[in-house]
Amino acid sequence: MKSFNIIPYLVNIGLNNASHNGEKRHIRFLNVVSLTSFVILSAFIFINFFYYKNHLLTYIEIGLTGFIFFLFYLNHIGFIKLARLLFFLVFHLFLVSVTMYFKVGEMVEYMHLMMIMMLMYFYIHSRVFTAMYFINLVLFYLPQLVYHPYPEENYSWMIPLVLFVSMFIITKIYSRDQRNYQKKLDDRNRQLQELNRQKDEIVGIAAHDLKSPLNRIEALVSLIKMTSSNLTDEQKLLLDSVAKVSKDQNEMIRKVLDLSAINLNLAGQEVYKVNVQEILNSVIQEFSHIGQDKNIRINYTGKRAYILGQRESLRNIFENLISNAIKFSPFNTTISVSSCFSHDKVAIEISDQGPGFTEEDKKAMFKQFKKLSAQPTANESSNGLGLSIAKKYVEALKGKITCESTHGKGAKFIVQFDRLRQKDLDFS
């Protein structure tokens, strides 16, 4: 039959496999202190009851002994933090009472201070208990300022000593604690960055692999339409639907790849001199053909301006903003694009005559996969990524993007970058 050892059992009450090493150390320490206090109090109860017959003190000791049993019970059922809190508070009140009973100058206050320092070991992360400790320091120092409490022997030198030692210990503990927190935070950040990088790589690979079959579907649809002369109207409509779905999914994949590239910092590896006007002209020329399906005109006015950036990143910004404007603009309207510069900034404005944004839309417009209240005017697909991608590219190039809109009166997106001035161009 296996023997049962009561002391290891009491010392390990409250431990479980989920507890980390620091928590296990605290639980064992609390149990050891409680067990030691129980033994000492039991001895005091015996001495007081049979020799001194001080019934009041005996009752107090019996109450404290019962309290220790209660702590063991709380540990046993898993309320570890509550047990530690009660341990701190009850013993704190007990020591304060003893200090008041024996009055200032009987050295009990110094025992009190040291006891609180030990109890703070359990709550080293709590500012409340740190504040309580310093309040006690002040309270025990005040009597020395008011009157001389030591008639026979001068122990006043102990007060600054205790203050100095206490301040030193608290400072060292706080510094150690901050270093540990910072180290854990840095480790967690590195782990999160690595997990995020792996996630983006997987998403990028999956999205890239999906593009090939979609491209083949589009090619097959085009081939069928070109080589089959006897297709019915219904068959042509079905083929057009297949082509549209394939095109929409390809667009979605392209945006996911863009997002993955930004998150992997592929978009911001190197910057160079870029002519904003040249890129805008190219993008507008491309999207003018798309806008013709809805009889939407794109008007552009601007001057040549240079920034430090990346051509592909800027194209992505302008493509997403102009595509978004076309998608939500009514038929037979105009989209206005302009670029201008001031002393140190280049600003690009893209305005449409669409439904605009509600106040709720404005709060969520740059969030990924967020569908807003407005709907595309020609049943185009909308995945909630365009504005998010544009914002990420703008921020990667250290720019700023804002939106001015009144619901029902269109929207204006303003993108700003630092301008390369003539003196910078002369040295580039």
Query: pLDDT tens digits for 321-356?
Result: 999 999 999 999 999 999 998 888 999 999 999 999
146 domain-assigned: yes
* In the predicted structure, residue 169 carries a pLDDT above the cut 90: no
Indicate if 211 and 282 belong to the same structural domain: no
Q: Is 380 left (phi over 0), alpha (psi -120 to 50) or beta?
A: beta
Q: Which tens digits make up the pLDDT trace of 270-295? A: 778 899 999 999 999 988 888 888 99
Indicate if 46 and 140 belong to the same structural domain: yes
* In the predicted structure, residue 147 carries a pLDDT above the cut 50: no
pLDDT at 335: 95
23 domain-assigned: yes
Whole-angstrom distance, CA of residue 416 vs CA of residue 339: 10
Indicate if 137 and 273 belong to the same structural domain: no
pLDDT at 284: 92
> Mean pLDDT, to the nearest integer, of 169-175?
71
Whole-angstrom distance, CA of residue 351 vs CA of residue 219: 35
1 domain-assigned: no
Whole-angstrom distance, CA of residue 68 vs CA of residue 73: 9
pLDDT at 416: 95
> Mean pLDDT, to the nearest integer, of 61-75?
77
What is the four-CA torsion angle of 297, 302, 308, 311, rounded to 10 degrees? 30
pLDDT at 325: 92
Indicate if 133 and 278 belong to the same structural domain: no
> Mean pLDDT, to the nearest integer, of 373-387?
81
Indicate if 171 and 27 belong to the same structural domain: yes
Residue 191's domain spans which residues? 186-266
Task: Determine which of 155-169, 220-234, 290-304 has the lowest per-residue pLDDT on average.
Answer: 155-169
> Mean pLDDT, to the nearest integer, of 194-209?
70
Domain end call among 221, 251, 266: 266
Indicate if 255 and 397 belong to the same structural domain: no
CATH of the domain at 393: 3.30.565.10
382 domain-assigned: yes
Whole-angstrom distance, CA of residue 271 vs CA of residue 311: 9
* In the predicted structure, residue 17 carries a pLDDT above the cut 70: no
Smallest Cα–Cα separation from 378: which of 331, 323, 325? 331
What's this model's pTM, rounded to 2 decimal places? Answer: 0.51
pLDDT at 1: 45
Q: What's the total number of domains in the chain?
A: 3
47 domain-assigned: yes
pLDDT at 150: 46
Domain end call among 266, 295, 314: 266
> Mean pLDDT, to the nearest integer, of 87-108?
64
> Mean pLDDT, to the nearest integer, of 151-155?
53
pLDDT at 26: 67
Indicate if 367 and 326 belong to the same structural domain: yes
> Mean pLDDT, to the nearest integer, of 86-96?
70
Select, from the ranges 83-97, 166-180, 365-379, the one with the highest average predicted confidence (pLDDT): 365-379
205 domain-assigned: yes
The pLDDT > 90 percentage for the chain reads: 15
91 domain-assigned: yes
Higher pLDDT, 287 or 20: 287
* In the predicted structure, residue 108 carries a pLDDT above the cut 60: no
* In the predicted structure, residue 386 carries a pLDDT above the cut 70: yes
* In the predicted structure, residue 29 carries a pLDDT above the cut 70: yes
Indicate if 354 and 213 belong to the same structural domain: no
Kindly report the number of other CB atoms within 10 A of residue 357's CB atom. 23
* In the predicted structure, residue 252 carries a pLDDT above the cut 90: no
pLDDT at 295: 92
Indicate if 364 and 412 belong to the same structural domain: yes
pLDDT at 343: 81
Task: Determine which of 111-125, 307-321, 346-360 has the lowest per-residue pLDDT on average.
Answer: 111-125
Whole-angstrom distance, CA of residue 230 vs CA of residue 208: 36
Indicate if 258 and 274 belong to the same structural domain: no
Smallest Cα–Cα separation from 316: which of 275, 281, 272, 267? 267
Contact residues for 41 (Cβ-Cβ < 8 A; gap 6+) = 61, 64, 65, 68
pLDDT at 301: 92
Indicate if 179 and 192 belong to the same structural domain: no
Domain end call among 244, 266, 288: 266
Q: pLDDT confidence of 208, banded at 50, 70, 90?
A: low
Indicate if 164 and 68 belong to the same structural domain: yes
